[in-house]
Amino acid sequence: MEDLSVAELYAGLREPSFREQRVTLLQLLANKFTDEITTTTTTTDEIPLREIISYCLALISSAFGNQASTQREVLAHFSLSVLTNMTSTEANQKMMIEIIMNETKPSSTHWISILQTFLNHDPTKEKKIIEGSVPDTSDSDYWIKEDFLHLTSYVLCNLSQHEEIRTQMTRRSSGYIPKLLNQVKSQNTSRRHGAVGALRK
């Protein structure tokens, strides 16, 4: 499966018969973006980037509310891994911003839901961990259980390089900045580092 292209992996995610393999496909997709950012010669038109962004946002937001389940949280975590790697390039950052800023589309609602849920996390209620024993963020099994949205911080950090997102974050009525500052207190290094990065942009 590692030889599959981005387009082929995405097609697999949408194929009902591959539902049980979605976690593996998302992991491979995240890794593929890391590789293809620097090595691909494929034209953007050949890779369904917009569809992948919208798909991942919908999958993440499905982990909230009445639809919540452990499996959905796992899928949300790896969808955020895909978006983190995708948005490491300026072109993909701009593409995702265009998608989430279009208020007539479901992806905009999904993004706001993800962002608000991420920012409503209260670090003071995290399970207290003995100093020096906090698992590395690469320990996905632990962090999916404890904080499956923690990678949102890296996506936000990447997108915050652009004025549209900075304006959205700093709008007083949103109340986002105080909540983002609060994430710096988290025991999760991804949540802390991403929050600091977004605040510095």
Q: What is the pLDDT of residues 6-42, one digit of tens each?
A: 999 999 999 999 999 999 999 999 999 886 554 444 4
* Buried b / exposed e along 191-200 (16+ C-beta atoms within 10 A): bbbbbebbbe
* Rounded-to-integer distance, Cα 111 and Cα 87, Å: 14
Q: Taking the domains of the chain in order of start, what are their residue ranges? A: 6-121+141-200
Spatial contact of 2 and 29, defined as CB atoms under 8 Å apart: no
Q: What is the pLDDT of residues 131-186, one digit of tens each?
A: 555 566 556 677 778 899 999 999 999 999 999 999 999 988 889 999 999 999 99
* Rounded-to-integer distance, Cα 21 and Cα 16, Å: 10
In this structure, CATH architecture of domain 6-121+141-200 = Alpha Horseshoe (1.25)
Q: pTM of the entire structure?
A: 0.89
Cβ-based neighbours of 189, under 8 Å, separated by 6 or more: 134, 136, 137
* Rounded-to-integer distance, Cα 80 and Cα 56, Å: 7
Amino acid sitting at position 27: Q
Q: What is the pLDDT of residues 55-106, one digit of tens each?
A: 999 999 999 877 778 899 999 999 999 999 999 999 999 999 999 999 899 9
